[in-house]
Amino acid sequence: MRRSGHPAIVCRCRDVTVDDVLKAIDEGCEDLECLKRRLGIGMGPCQGRTCIPIALSILARKLGKRPEELALPTFRAPIIPLPAALILKSLDARDGEGEEGR
């Protein structure tokens, strides 16, 4: 897969390369949930937007399957990184107490 001297990056959040993905698959990680936990793909700030489709196509090719046959990993709330200050406001609204009032 490595055609030049520079490794091809799959996950920019964790610096995971194509070779890393291929090695993990060879070691028995044959689904995206396993690759996620083995390599951290899908766990960075992009929440898998970049890496999961790429890892999916590598995995499908390697297993001789179509990408749509493979299961996607679970995507977790809040989907995009949310500032804690914003999340804290939701509690203030329900409790009716000012956040700075304590």
Partner 1 sequence: MVEILIIGGGATGLMTAYSLLRRGVRDVAVFDASYPAGGSTGRCASGIRASFTSKEHVVLMREAIKLWRSYSEGDLGRAGLKFHQSGYVWVSFSEEGVDTFRELVKLHNSLGVRTEVLGPDALKELVPPARTEGVAGIMVDREAGKACPFETVFALITVLRRHGIEVRYHTRVTGIAVRSGRVSGAFVEGRGLVEAEKVLVAAGPSSRDVLKPLGVEIPVKNMPRHALITEPYRPAFNPLVIEWDVPGVPYIVQTDEGAFYIAREIEEEPEEPLTSQRIDFMPKALKPLTRLFPWLRNVRVLRYWLGYYSVTPDHHPILGPVEGVEGLYIAAGFSGHGYMMSPVTGEVMAGWMLDGKPPIPEAGRLTLERFERGELIRERAIVG
Return residues touching partner 1 (CB under 8 A).
14, 27-29, 31, 33-34, 37-38, 40, 43-45, 47, 76-78, 81-85, 87-91, 94, 99, 102
Q: At its nearest, how many Å lie between partner 1 and the CB of residue 30?
A: 8
Closer residue to partner 1 (CB): 6 or 60: 60
Amino acid in the structure at residue 63:
L
Conformation bin of residue 72: beta by default, left when phi > 0, alpha when psi is -120 to 50:
beta
Rounded to a whole number of angstroms, the minimum distance from the CB of residue 16 to partner 1 is: 13
Which of 45/64 has CB closer to partner 1?
Answer: 45
- Of the two residues 3 and 91, which places its CB atom closer to partner 1 in the complex? 91
Least distance between partner 1 and beta carbon 102 (Å)? 8
Sequence-ordered list of residues with C-beta below 8 angstroms from that of 7, at least 6 positions apart, any chain = 17, 18, 19
Question: What is the spatial distance between Cα 63 and Cα 90, in angstroms, rounded to a whole number?
Answer: 45
